[in-house]
Amino acid sequence: MAYENNNFGERTMHKGNWTCADCGASITELPFKPNPERENELKCRDCHRKSAPKRSGGRGGSFGGPREMFKGDWECSKCNTAITELPFKPNPERTDNLMCRDCFKASRA
Ligand SMILES: [Zn+2]
Ligand SMILES: [Zn+2]
Protein backbone atom coordinates (compact mmCIF):
# COMPACT_ATOMS: atom_id res chain seq x y z
CA MET A 1 0.00 0.00 0.00
CA ALA A 2 2.39 2.68 -1.04
CA TYR A 3 0.69 5.89 -1.50
CA GLU A 4 2.59 8.53 -3.12
CA ASN A 5 3.61 11.03 -0.58
CA ASN A 6 4.17 14.12 -2.54
CA ASN A 7 7.06 16.39 -1.81
CA PHE A 8 5.28 18.28 0.85
CA GLY A 9 6.51 15.75 3.32
CA GLU A 10 5.60 12.91 5.55
CA ARG A 11 2.43 12.72 7.53
CA THR A 12 3.95 13.98 10.69
CA MET A 13 1.44 15.72 12.88
CA HIS A 14 2.44 19.15 14.08
CA LYS A 15 1.22 19.98 17.53
CA GLY A 16 0.01 23.40 18.39
CA ASN A 17 -2.78 25.51 19.62
CA TRP A 18 -4.89 27.01 16.89
CA THR A 19 -8.51 27.88 16.31
CA CYS A 20 -10.70 26.88 13.43
CA ALA A 21 -11.52 29.87 11.23
CA ASP A 22 -14.94 28.44 10.50
CA CYS A 23 -16.40 27.02 13.67
CA GLY A 24 -13.98 28.22 16.34
CA ALA A 25 -13.09 24.71 17.47
CA SER A 26 -9.63 24.33 18.87
CA ILE A 27 -7.07 22.59 16.73
CA THR A 28 -4.27 20.82 18.50
CA GLU A 29 -2.60 19.08 15.63
CA LEU A 30 -2.25 19.46 11.93
CA PRO A 31 -0.84 17.24 9.21
CA PHE A 32 1.28 20.13 8.00
CA LYS A 33 3.20 22.93 9.53
CA PRO A 34 1.03 26.00 9.28
CA ASN A 35 2.44 29.24 8.05
CA PRO A 36 2.39 31.54 11.08
CA GLU A 37 0.94 34.28 8.93
CA ARG A 38 -1.95 32.07 8.00
CA GLU A 39 -2.84 30.63 11.36
CA ASN A 40 -6.05 32.59 11.35
CA GLU A 41 -7.16 30.74 8.26
CA LEU A 42 -6.79 27.25 9.64
CA LYS A 43 -9.72 24.90 9.72
CA CYS A 44 -10.49 21.99 11.93
CA ARG A 45 -10.74 18.54 10.48
CA ASP A 46 -14.50 18.70 10.08
CA CYS A 47 -14.60 22.07 8.39
CA HIS A 48 -11.66 21.12 6.26
CA ARG A 49 -13.52 18.09 5.09
CA LYS A 50 -16.72 20.03 4.51
CA SER A 51 -14.92 22.65 2.48
CA ALA A 52 -13.26 20.16 0.20
CA PRO A 53 -14.86 20.74 -3.17
CA LYS A 54 -14.95 17.11 -4.10
CA ARG A 55 -13.97 13.84 -2.60
CA SER A 56 -12.73 11.22 -4.89
CA GLY A 57 -14.39 8.43 -2.96
CA GLY A 58 -12.59 5.62 -1.24
CA ARG A 59 -10.39 6.21 1.78
CA GLY A 60 -12.96 8.03 3.84
CA GLY A 61 -11.77 10.04 6.76
CA SER A 62 -8.08 9.67 6.40
CA PHE A 63 -7.19 13.25 6.97
CA GLY A 64 -3.69 13.82 5.73
CA GLY A 65 -3.87 11.01 3.24
CA PRO A 66 -3.21 11.53 -0.42
CA ARG A 67 -3.84 15.16 -0.98
CA GLU A 68 -6.12 16.74 -3.46
CA MET A 69 -4.41 19.28 -5.59
CA PHE A 70 -6.06 22.56 -6.45
CA LYS A 71 -5.36 23.80 -9.91
CA GLY A 72 -4.79 27.42 -10.61
CA ASP A 73 -2.55 30.06 -11.90
CA TRP A 74 -0.40 31.66 -9.25
CA GLU A 75 3.09 32.87 -8.79
CA CYS A 76 5.66 32.07 -6.15
CA SER A 77 6.22 35.05 -3.87
CA LYS A 78 9.89 34.15 -3.51
CA CYS A 79 11.19 33.08 -6.88
CA ASN A 80 8.27 34.04 -9.15
CA THR A 81 7.95 30.55 -10.52
CA ALA A 82 4.52 29.81 -11.90
CA ILE A 83 2.45 27.66 -9.57
CA THR A 84 -0.19 25.59 -11.27
CA GLU A 85 -1.32 23.43 -8.40
CA LEU A 86 -1.36 23.54 -4.65
CA PRO A 87 -2.16 20.98 -1.98
CA PHE A 88 -4.62 23.41 -0.40
CA LYS A 89 -7.08 25.95 -1.59
CA PRO A 90 -5.43 29.31 -1.28
CA ASN A 91 -7.27 32.28 0.09
CA PRO A 92 -7.79 34.56 -2.92
CA GLU A 93 -6.73 37.50 -0.81
CA ARG A 94 -3.46 35.91 0.11
CA THR A 95 -2.23 34.65 -3.20
CA ASP A 96 0.70 37.03 -3.05
CA ASN A 97 2.08 34.95 -0.19
CA LEU A 98 2.14 31.67 -2.05
CA MET A 99 5.32 29.72 -2.46
CA CYS A 100 6.26 27.14 -5.02
CA ARG A 101 7.08 23.64 -3.92
CA ASP A 102 10.79 24.29 -3.74
CA CYS A 103 10.54 27.47 -1.73
CA PHE A 104 7.92 25.85 0.47
CA LYS A 105 10.26 22.99 1.19
CA ALA A 106 13.15 25.35 1.77
CA SER A 107 11.06 27.36 4.20
CA ARG A 108 10.33 24.31 6.34
CA ALA A 109 13.89 23.11 6.42
ZN1 LIG B 1 -14.16 23.96 12.22
ZN1 LIG C 1 9.61 29.63 -5.34
In a domain, residue 31? The reply is: yes
pLDDT given for residue 56 in this prediction: 56
Ligand nearest to the CA of 105: 2
Average pLDDT, the chain: 82
75 CA distance to ligand 2 middle (Å): 8
The residues, any chain, with a CB within 8 Å of residue 26's CB and separated by 6 or more, are 17, 18, 19, 20, 44
Give the count of beta carbons closer than 10 Å to the beta carbon of residue 53. Answer: 7
Residue 59 lies in a domain: no
Could you list which residues have their CB under 5 Å from ion ligand 2? Answer: 76, 78-79, 81, 100, 103
- Is residue 7 very low, low, confident or very high in pLDDT (cuts 50, 70, 90)? low
* pLDDT of 3 higher than 70: no
Query: Which pLDDT belongs to residue 8?
Result: 54
**5 assigned to some structural domain:** no
Inside any domain, residue 6: no
Same domain, 77 and 42: no
**Domain around 39:** 11-52
Q: What domain count does the chain have? A: 2
Q: Is residue 62 part of a domain?
A: no
Q: In angstroms, what is the span from residue 79 Cα to ligand 1's centroid?
A: 33
Same domain, yes or no: 15 and 48: yes
Stated pTM of the model: 0.38
Domain presence at residue 3: no
Instruction: List pLDDT tens digits, range 33-61.
Output: 899 899 999 999 899 888 877 655 555 44
Q: Is residue 61 part of a domain?
A: no
Is there a single domain that holds both residue 46 and residue 16?
yes
Q: Based on the domain organization, do 48 and 75 belong to the same domain?
A: no
Question: How far is residue 60's CA from residue 76's CA, in Å, rounded to a whole number?
Answer: 32
